[in-house]
Amino acid sequence: DLPRPSISAEPGTVIPLGSHVTFVCRGPVGVQTFRLERETRFIYNETEDVSQASPSESEARFRIDSVSEENAGPYRCIYYKPPKWSEQSDYLELLVKGPWSPDLHWTPR
């Protein structure tokens, strides 16, 4: 069976509003298509721009240039390695920090 893909986010999973984030999906060598899915498998981005991350691994990168509140939530990866699709990765939760969230602007009294 195909190994499950992994998903990570750079620079991390907590992103200030308007900053960028890149989701990195990784799978075995020979992947033709990576797909980044939202909560539902019907909302997704797909790419055939797959690069070799190491001798045994391939990856694709999905960049969001300016993160908004709509981008928050769970993401997961799935890939197509002919002739079939892999299982989904675990979910990765993206948190978006607004400019005035209390934890960023806490001042001692």
Per-residue pLDDT of the chain (109 residues; tens, 9 = 90+): 899 999 999 999 999 999 999 999 999 999 999 999 998 778 999 999 999 999 999 999 999 999 999 999 999 999 999 999 999 999 999 999 987 655 555 556 6
Q: What is the CATH number of domain 6-97?
A: 2.60.40.10
- ω into residue 74 within 30 of 0, thus cis? no
The pTM is what? 0.87
CA 68, 47, 41, 85 torsion-angle sign: negative
Q: Residue 28: CB partners within 8 Å, gap ≥ 6?
A: 2, 3, 56, 57, 58, 81
What is the C-alpha radius of gyration for the chain, rounded to an integer number of angstroms? 16
What residue spans define the domains of the chain?
Answer: 6-97
- Kind of pairing between the strands at 14-16 and 92-97: parallel
